[in-house]
A and B are shown apart, each in its own frame.
Chain A
Amino acid sequence: MNREDTMFKQVRNLILAVLVLLPVTVLAAPSGQALSFTCAGCHGTDGSSVGPSMPAIAGMDPEVFVDAMKAYRNNQRNASIMNRIARAYSDEQFKAMAWFFASQRLYLKPQEYDAALATRGAGLHDKYCEKCHENGGRPGDAGTLAGQWMPYLEYSMDDFLNGKRKWPRKMKRKVDAAIAEEGPDAVSTLIHYYGSQQ
Chain B
Amino acid sequence: MTDIHRRAFIRVTSGVAALGATIGFPSLALGAARRVVVVGGGVGGSTVAKYLRKLDSSIAVTLIETKPNYTACFMSNEVLSGERTLESLTFGYDGLRRYGVEVVRGTVVGIDPVKKTVQTAGGESFNYDACVVSPGISFKWEAIEGYDEKVAAETVPHAWNAGPQTLLLRRQIEAMPEGGHVIIAAPPNPFKCPPGPYERASQIAMYCKHHKPRAKITILDPKDAFSKQGLYTEGWTKLYGYGTDNSMIDWIGAAGGGKIEELDPTTLTIQAEIEEFQGDVVNIIPPQKAGAIAFAADLADGDWCPVDKRTFESQRHKDIYVLGDASSAAKMPKSAYAANSQAKVAAAAIVNRFQGLEPGDPTFVNTCYSVVGEDFGISVAAVYSLDTHTNTITPIPNSGGVSPANASPEIRKREVSYAHSWFKNVINDMLE
Proximity string of chain A (113-141) to chain B, C-beta cutoff 8 Å, 1 when within and 0 when not = 00000000000000000000000000000
- Interface stretch of the complex, out of A80-88, A170-178, A183-191: A80-88
Bound Cα distance from A38 to B10, whole angstroms: 23
* Residues 385-432 (chain B) with a chain A CB within 8 angstroms: 385, 396, 398-401, 403, 407, 411, 414-415, 417-418, 420-426, 428-429, 432
- Interface stretch of the complex, out of B34-42, B82-90, B171-179, B338-346: B338-346
**Interface pair B421/A52, CB less than 8 Å apart:** yes
Distance in Å from the Cβ of B394 to the closest Cβ of chain A?
A: 11
Distance in Å from the Cβ of A31 to the closest Cβ of chain B?
A: 5
**Interface pair B429/A45, CB less than 8 Å apart:** yes
**Interface pair A38/B403, CB less than 8 Å apart:** no
**Interface pair A51/B420, CB less than 8 Å apart:** yes
**Interface pair B22/A15, CB less than 8 Å apart:** yes
Known A27-B358, A67-B2, A88-B383; contact A99-B421, beta-carbon cutoff 8 A: no
Interface size on B (CB < 8 Å)? 56
Q: Is B362 an interface residue (CB 8 A)?
A: yes
Known A62-B9, A84-B400, A85-B399; contact A28-B424, beta-carbon cutoff 8 A: no
Distance in Å from the Cβ of A121 to the closest Cβ of chain B?
A: 22
Q: On chain A, which size bracket covers the interface?
A: 35 or more
Nearest CB in chain A to that of B17: its residue:
A103
**Interface pair B362/A15, CB less than 8 Å apart:** no
Q: Is B357 an interface residue (CB 8 A)?
A: yes
Q: Is A179 an interface residue (CB 8 A)?
A: no
Interface of B is mostly: helix
Q: Is B149 an interface residue (CB 8 A)?
A: no
Interface of A is mostly: helix
Q: Is B243 an interface residue (CB 8 A)?
A: no
Contacts of B428 in A (CB 8 A): 40, 44-45, 50-51
**Interface pair A53/B381, CB less than 8 Å apart:** no
Known A37-B344, A41-B426, A88-B383; contact A63-B365, beta-carbon cutoff 8 A: no
Q: A41-B429, A95-B2 are in contact. List 20 more A-B contacts (CB 8 A).
A: A34-B360, A37-B341, A38-B341, A38-B365, A44-B425, A45-B428, A45-B432, A51-B418, A51-B424, A52-B421, A62-B4, A80-B403, A81-B381, A81-B403, A81-B415, A81-B418, A86-B399, A88-B399, A88-B400, A95-B4
Give the interface of B toward A (CB within 8 A). Answer: 1-2, 4, 6, 9-10, 12-13, 15, 19, 22-23, 51, 336-337, 340-341, 344-345, 348, 352, 357-358, 360-365, 367, 379, 381, 383, 385, 396, 398-401, 403, 407, 411, 414-415, 417-418, 420-426, 428-429, 432
